[in-house]
Each structure stands twice: as structure tokens, then as C-alpha cells.
Amino acid sequence: MKRLSFWLLILSAALAACATSPTTVERPTEEPLVAARPTRTPPPTATSVPTPGAAPEAGEGFAAAPLTQVRDRFFSGSGVCAICHTGLSDESGADVSIDRMWRGTMMANAARDPYWQASVRSEILENPDLRQTIEDKCATCHMPMARYTVAADGEKGSVFGEGFLDPGNPLHELAMDGVSCTLCHQIQAEGLGLSGSYSGGFSIDTEQPAGERVIYGPYRVGMMMVQTMQASSGFAPEQGLHIIKSELCASCHTLYTPYVDARGEVVGEFPEQVPYLEWYYSDYRRLQSCQDCHMPEAQGSVVISITGGPPRSPFAKHSFVGGNAYMLQMFETFGAEMGTTASGQQFAAARQRTLQQLQEHTATVSLDEVRLAGSTLIADVSVESQVGHKFPSGFPARRAWLHFVVRDAAGEVVFESGAVNADGSIVGNDNDEAADAYEPHYLAIVRPDQVQIYETILTNTDAAVTTTLLRAARYVKDNRLLPAGFEKGAPYEDIAVRGRALEDEDFLGGGDRVQYQVEVDEAQGPFTVTVELRYQSIGYRWVENLRAKQAPEIERFLGYYAAVPNTGTLVASDEAEAGK
Ligand code: HEC
Ligand code: HEC
Ligand code: HEC
Ligand code: HEC
Ligand code: HEC
């Protein structure tokens, strides 16, 4: 929070500065009231540029592979940038190298992601006539550099066959570099935050020739440093404060997908994942940006290039931690055969950071009042979210749920709701048992086959439950936990609460309360009550529905899936006793 008011201060200061001298807005410094950090970049302390292609590091399980050095019309591979923006450490001595952190993230691996590939294939199998449209759409954000390059010539991106996944495709290397340095850092301020920029509608300059292109960053960089970077990479750094705003991320993290009716005709657009809009209508819009939470600050200042330069602060770590510990574990296990550039150890570190975020900065759960009324045990559970958008958010396969257990004096289970099976299904969840059923949102839970699951349930144009993205026309259930300050009844059709959570008076911005009323009958107290909040990035039904389809990408993903247990992550828990 401290950083926030500080940012507001800076923004207004920046605006004021703009009024007088439009091009010289300084990057905010950490302590605005004490002496400013060097504002002009001193001459570089080292002028020699190291040779490309640093040796792969040894990893846990498998080693890192070199980042691609490919150079194209608009973009270049991350390896071109990693030459200098590596070997960085903060004031605590921690390694904050940009390349090392980034390469183990979901964004760096967006094209290799076996679940993504299986899912693109599955969509095509459902709608073979739309193959070209589907591949072009899906490549827009998961293979953005390759797709942008062909789109500039008015062509469509393709994924399979001789498309971007084929090593023979001229844009293969750019495609496999995922959401990379020269993609994010070339996004222009123009149009950001407006609906035209959503669904991958960011704009990147197509006029500047290679060698003279601009990379936006948060700082004002001195002439010598600009030349150092440009001479080696062909890109000149330039201050562009739009890079630190949520609207930059919103261009890909606001996704509307076209959907078709039973005859395969496109009949509308569906808000498939819109964390930016959820954030926008919460308190966090005024408090913290996507970057504040997803690119946490390094400790103290950092010299951002191995060629030297002034210490920069705040320095945002390129950790991009979300919730997908599961897929990171898949990469950690099978990365070598998937051809990742990150090592097993780098994936392990990224997964560790994800678990830490889920367990320390996501939500709390508490048993407020546990009491016995005759043979009924009553427990009030509250869940409080600390997330800057819905929890879960993002891709609609994500879900979180409550696992609630009552044990008697001897430790025997008297009541249980929300246990997870070894195969990743949730005991008592109708949707895991049958594709067309689902659990409603509960105000109170009285039977073990009722489970409070915070999730989305999608239906198609015929009102049947679906996990096919191109058939998803609406949400019949969306009781994902709301961010603080989100007005439930109000604001916006595309992020509305759906289903019974609408009528639940204590399902509100910031959290939910559920009452458990459990018959303990003859069981002997005192009773021990435990509640867990668990999270899964791929809900069971989403995987089950893939099994019906046959294709190499689907088989491969299911093979990996079978080897990596999907029982979810424990986010928070509480314990209490009753009937002593
Ligand atoms: C030869 C070394 C070198 C290479 C290669 C290099 N950079 Fe830089 N980069 C620098 C230096 C030096 C600075 C300025 C450091 C400072 O002023 O603190 C810089 C600054 C930046 C900044 C901050 C700019 C700002 O205005 O805030 C970004 C972003 C950046 N580089 C991205 C990239 C990307 C993307 C690539 C690959 C296309 C790349 N760099 C390649 C040396 C390099
Ligand atoms: C506008 C950008 C955008 C487009 C277009 C897009 N995606 Fe995504 N996709 C994302 C983002 C962002 C995420 C990550 C969200 C999250 O982590 O919850 C994601 C995540 C996914 C995931 C989950 C991956 C995992 O490991 O859990 C799948 C599967 C997926 N997308 C499939 C598709 C398919 C199929 C298409 C084409 C129909 C598509 N995407 C088009 C942005 C996009
Ligand atoms: C998903 C988008 C994204 C990708 C991919 C990305 N960056 Fe950044 N980068 C940012 C943002 C946003 C900032 C500014 C963050 C802030 O200060 O809040 C930034 C900041 C920087 C800075 C300035 C130092 C700092 O943290 O303030 C450098 C240098 C840089 N990036 C280089 C790179 C390099 C090299 C790569 C590829 C290995 C890369 N970036 C990949 C979004 C991205
Ligand atoms: C107040 C901190 C905060 C802010 C602000 C924030 N996030 Fe998050 N985000 C989190 C936390 C914590 C998680 C992990 C819990 C989870 O999975 O939702 C997360 C998860 C995610 C995920 C994974 C989806 C999922 O639910 O598994 C995506 C994608 C994401 N954030 C994107 C964004 C974008 C885009 C923005 C800006 C519009 C943003 N976040 C702003 C804290 C924040
Ligand atoms: C070019 C499109 C693009 C841009 C711009 C972009 N993202 Fe992403 N992001 C993606 C895609 C695609 C994925 C999902 C990759 C996958 O799961 O296969 C993703 C995944 C993520 C995740 C991981 C979610 C998880 O579940 O672990 C986080 C966190 C995230 N992005 C944050 C950001 C932030 C913060 C910004 C802005 C600085 C940003 N992204 C900008 C496309 C983008």
C-alpha cells in the first residue's frame, strides 16, 4: 500500500512535469523526499560487450538451453537481450537476472504449453471449418511475435501442419520464444485501455526498420547507454511510462472469444477471461497495478545491464507469478522433451514462487464460530481474498474450493465435504461426475455431497454445459471470490456474478461466508473441525472432456497429466474445536 500512494504522488508529479517539458518525465524514485538518485546516466563503466550465447546452466533434472538469438523485421529473440540484462543482483545479493526469471514463467512458455496445444487442437476438432480462424486467434497471444509478423502482411497465423510449431517454419523460433522481451517492450501507448486493444489488439510499430527500433522502459536512459544497447541489439531504449500500467497487460489479459451455435455459425463474443476488467471495477484500480503484484520489487536498487549504469530503483522482477503451479510442475518434469529453454531448477524456482504467492498473498480462511446445537454442529467459515481480481481468475478451467472435515474425539471422520480424489476430481462435485451437471453456489452446506466451489460454469447456445471455448456463450455460474471493493450487483455485464451467489448476502467484494450445519448424531465430542481452501488451475472436467478426442497433441498432454498429480494446492486453512 505504501508504494501506491507513492505512485499516485508520482503520477500527479509526472503529469505536472509533462505540462512544462513533455519528454523529460523522470522515472519515479523510491524516496521522493530525499536526494534524488542520479537522473542522468553517467558514462558506461564498461564499454565492451560480452560475446553471445552464454553456456547453458546445469539444472535440476535437465539443463537450460540457449535462448534464441533470431532477428527479424520487427522482433528479436530473447537471447539478443539476455546478453546484457543478465547477471543482475539486488542489494540483498539475490539474483534478479531478467532472463533467468522470465524463462521459467508461463508467459515465456506460452507456445510450448502442452495444455494450450491440446486445447487448440480440441477446438479445431469441434469446429473443423474454422481451423484457420482458430489457429490465428490462439497464436495471437501465445505466439505473439510470429503472429504479429504475419498479420502485418495481412496473413493469418497458423499453428499446426506447416505452421509455427513446425521447425521448418521461418517464424518457428520467434513463435516458440512466447511472450518475450521485444513483444512487451515494443507495445505502443496508443489505444491501450480501450476495447480495440483487448484480445491481443496491442499495437507495435511496423514502419521503423530493424536496427532503429524502439524499446520502451520505465527510465530515461542516457545517450551513451542508448548507443551501447542499440549497437548490440538494434533496439534503442526509450522512456515510455505506459509500460508500468495495467492497461499494457490488459491487451492480452482481456480476452473475448467468438462463439458459434450448433450449426457452426459465429453468433457472438464471450468474455472468456477478463481479469483486467475485474481489477478495474475493484478497489485495486486505485491501489495496485498488475505489475505491482506480478512483478514484485527487488530489494533496493539494481544496475540493470552488465555493461554498467546507474543503480535503478524500484526494479521490478520479471517473475510474473500467477497461480499455475501445476503446469510449472509439468514443465519441471518434462521440460527437456518439450524443448524448454529454462532448466528444471528454474522451473522449480518459478513453481516455488507460485506456491508462495498462493499460500501467502492469495486468501485466508477462518472458522469464526463453531458450536453445538443439540446434535447439530454449526460452523461459520469465512473466506477473504487478497487478490486484485476475482479468485480464481484468468482461464476458465481454474477453480478453488472448501474442504471441510469434522472429526470426533477418537479422530474418526464424522463429516466431510470437498475431499479431493487422487485423479483430481472433487468428491461430491456433480460436474466431475457428469459433464452436464454442476454444484450450485451454497449459502449453507448440510450434506457431504454439497461442496462450495468457486468457479465458472460455461454453457453453449443450447444452454448445455460446455468446456469448448468456441461454444461458450454465457456463464450460468460465476461465484469466483470477488476482489475488495467490487460491487456485486452492479457494474458490468461481462464480469457479473452468476447463479445463486447473487442472492447470497454475505458473498461480497473481498470474500464469502458459508455456514456448515452437520449432524453429528451419536458421535462423541469434542469435535475437531478443519477447513481448507484449495486451488486447481485445471479442473477435472476440463481434462475429462479432452479424453473423448483423438489427436497427438491431446494424447501427449494426457500422458503428462497422468504423470503429474493434480490434487491442487492448499491455499489456506483453519482448525477449531467444539463441544468440549
Ligand atoms: C549491449 C548490452 C545491451 C543489450 C544487448 C540490450 N540492452 Fe537493454 N539496456 C542496456 C543498457 C546499458 C541500458 C540502460 C541502463 C540504464 O540506463 O540503467 C538498457 C536499458 C534497457 C531497458 C530500460 C529502458 C528504459 O527506458 O527504462 C529496457 C526495457 C531494455 N534495455 C530492454 C532490452 C531489450 C528488450 C533488449 C533486446 C532487444 C535489450 N535491452 C538488449 C544494454 C543492453
Ligand atoms: C488475448 C490473448 C489470448 C488469446 C487470443 C488466447 N489466449 Fe489462451 N491464454 C491467455 C492468457 C493470458 C492465459 C493465462 C490465463 C491464466 O493463467 O489464467 C491463457 C491460458 C490458456 C490456457 C491454459 C493454459 C494452462 O497451462 O493452464 C489454455 C488451454 C488456452 N489459453 C487456450 C487458448 C486457445 C485454445 C486459444 C484460441 C481459441 C487461446 N488460448 C487464445 C491469452 C490468450
Ligand atoms: C509481459 C511483458 C514483459 C516481458 C515479456 C518482458 N518485460 Fe521487461 N518489463 C516489463 C514491464 C511491465 C517493466 C516495468 C515494470 C515496472 O517498473 O513496474 C519491465 C522492465 C524492464 C526493464 C527495466 C528494469 C525494471 O525492471 O524496471 C528491463 C531492462 C527489461 N524489462 C528487460 C526485459 C528483457 C531483457 C526481457 C526478456 C528476457 C523482458 N524485459 C521481458 C514487461 C515485460
Ligand atoms: C493485489 C495484487 C494483485 C493485482 C493488483 C493483480 N493480481 Fe493477478 N494475481 C494475484 C494473486 C495473488 C494471484 C494468485 C491467485 C490466483 O490464482 O488468482 C493472481 C493470479 C493471476 C493470474 C492467474 C489466474 C488464476 O486465477 O489462476 C493472472 C492471469 C493474473 N493474476 C493477471 C493479472 C492481471 C492482468 C492484473 C492487472 C489487471 C492482475 N493480475 C492484478 C494478485 C494480483
Ligand atoms: C502478448 C500477450 C500478453 C501480454 C502483453 C501479457 N501477457 Fe501475461 N500471459 C499471456 C499468456 C498467453 C499467458 C498464458 C501462458 C500459458 O498459460 O500458456 C500469460 C500468463 C500470465 C501469468 C501467469 C498466470 C498463471 O496462472 O500462472 C501472469 C501472472 C501474467 N501473464 C501477467 C502479466 C502481466 C503482469 C502483464 C503486463 C506487464 C502481462 N501478463 C502481459 C499473454 C500476455
- Whether 19 has a pLDDT exceeding 60, the answer reads no
Alpha-carbon distance 302 to 563, whole Å? 40
Query: Does the C-beta of 277 come closer than 6 Å to ligand 5?
Result: no
> In terms of pLDDT, which residue wins out, 43 or 245?
245
376, three cell numbers: 447439530
- Whether 55 has a pLDDT exceeding 50, the answer reads no
Alpha-carbon distance 351 to 10, whole Å? 34
- Nearest ligand for residue 138 CA: 2
- Whether 13 has a pLDDT exceeding 50, the answer reads no
Residues with CB under 6 A from ligand 1: 41, 49, 76, 80-81, 83-85, 181-182, 185, 215, 217-219, 221, 225, 228-229, 232-233, 235, 237-239, 304-305, 307, 309-310, 312
- Nearest ligand for residue 186 CA: 1
- Whether 1 has a pLDDT exceeding 50, the answer reads no
Query: Does the C-beta of 537 come closer than 6 Å to ligand 2?
Result: yes
Which residue is listed with cell 505504501?
Answer: 2
363, three cell numbers: 486468501
- Nearest ligand for residue 220 CA: 1
Residue whose CB lies within 8 A of the most ligand 1 atoms, among 220, 305, 315, 317, for a mutation test: 305
Is residue 42 reached through a cis peptide bond, with omega within 30 degrees of 0 on the bond before it? no
Instruction: Supply the pLDDT for residue 60.
Output: 53
Instruction: Tell me the average pLDDT across 386-409.
Output: 98
Q: Whose CA is nearest to atom 19 of ligand 3?
A: 217
Spatial CB neighbours of 337, under 8 Å, sequence gap ≥ 6: none
Residue 537 CA: nearest ligand 2 atom is 27
- Whether 528 has a pLDDT exceeding 90, the answer reads yes
456-472 pLDDT tens trace: 999 999 999 999 999 99
The model's confidence at residue 25, banded by pLDDT at 50, 70 and 90, is very low
Alpha-carbon distance 302 to 130, whole Å? 48
Alpha-carbon distance 478 to 461, whole Å? 17
| Mean predicted lDDT score pLDDT of the chain | 90
Residue whose CB lies within 8 A of the most ligand 2 atoms, among 160, 273, 537, for a mutation test: 273
- Whether 570 has a pLDDT exceeding 50, the answer reads yes
Query: Does the C-beta of 290 come closer than 6 Å to ligand 4?
Result: yes
Compute CA distances 526 → 411, 415, 417, 529, whole Å: 10, 14, 19, 10
252-310 pLDDT tens trace: 999 999 999 999 999 999 999 999 999 999 999 999 999 999 999 999 999 999 999 99
Instruction: Supply the pLDDT for residue 8.
Output: 44
Closest CA to 393 of 281, 502, 292, 296: 281
Instruction: Supply the pLDDT for residue 491.
Output: 67
486-506 pLDDT tens trace: 999 876 899 999 999 999 999
Widest distance between CA atoms in the chain: 81
97-129 pLDDT tens trace: 999 999 999 999 999 999 999 999 999 999 999
322 Cα to the center of ligand 4, angstroms: 6
Residue whose CB lies within 8 A of the most ligand 1 atoms, among 24, 84, 291, for a mutation test: 84
| Contact of 428 with 500, CB cutoff 8 Å | no
Instruction: Tell me the average pLDDT across 183-193.
Output: 97
Instruction: Supply the pLDDT for residue 490.
Output: 72
Residue whose CB lies within 8 A of the most ligand 4 atoms, among 327, 362, 389, for a mutation test: 389
Distance of CA 308 to the CA centre of its chain: 32
Query: Does the C-beta of 106 come closer than 6 Å to ligand 5?
Result: yes
The model's confidence at residue 58, banded by pLDDT at 50, 70 and 90, is very low
272 Cα to the center of ligand 2, angstroms: 9
Q: Which amino acid is at 457?
A: I
- Whether 235 has a pLDDT exceeding 70, the answer reads yes
237 Cα to the center of ligand 1, angstroms: 6
Alpha-carbon distance 545 to 538, whole Å? 12
- Nearest ligand for residue 233 CA: 1
218, three cell numbers: 520505465
Query: Does the C-beta of 448 come closer than 6 Å to ligand 3?
Result: no
- Whether 24 has a pLDDT exceeding 70, the answer reads no
Alpha-carbon distance 417 to 2, whole Å? 40
Query: Does the C-beta of 395 come closer than 6 Å to ligand 2?
Result: yes
Which residue is listed with cell 478451467?
Answer: 397
- Nearest ligand for residue 536 CA: 4
139-175 pLDDT tens trace: 999 999 999 999 999 999 999 999 999 999 999 999 9
The model's confidence at residue 16, banded by pLDDT at 50, 70 and 90, is very low
